[in-house]
């Protein structure tokens, strides 16, 4: 499963939105995620990908596409590019 698909799965499970509404340009506001949803997504991402995402970094990520790129970068820094081709 790709990073994009994994992130979508996490968001759908936590925010209870349809996967069809999740695009690279979807913002937290677009999917109606509240602050608790965002924290839960953050924890799930950290657990799933075995990375740490500081809260201030999450606040700077404007949409899901930026979040995917952020995860890819963090994994590359660790030398474990999970889910990439």
The structure tokens listed for 67 are 């979040």
> Which H or E run contains 62?
none
**pLDDT tens digits, 4-36:** 999 999 999 999 999 999 999 999 999 999 989
CB 15 within 8 A of CB 45: no
| Residue-level pLDDT at 84 | 47
| Residue-level pLDDT at 33 | 93
Q: Is the confidence at residue 80, as pLDDT, over 70?
A: no
Taking the alpha carbons of 35, 20, 18, 81 in that order, is the dihedral positive or negative? negative
CATH number, span 3-78? 1.10.1200.10
**pLDDT tens digits, 37-69:** 999 999 999 999 999 998 888 888 999 999 999
| Residue-level pLDDT at 64 | 95
């Amino acid at each position: 499963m790709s990073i994009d698909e994994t992130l979508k799965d996490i968001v759908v499970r936590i925010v209870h939105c349809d996967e069809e509404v999740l695009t690279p340009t979807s913002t937290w506001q677009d999917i109606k995620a509240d602050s608790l949803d965002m924290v839960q997504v953050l924890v799930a991402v950290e657990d799933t990908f075995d990375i740490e995402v500081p809260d201030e970094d999450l606040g700077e990520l404007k949409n899901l596409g930026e979040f995917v790129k952020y995860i890819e970068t963090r994994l590359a820094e660790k030398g474990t590019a999970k889910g990439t081709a």
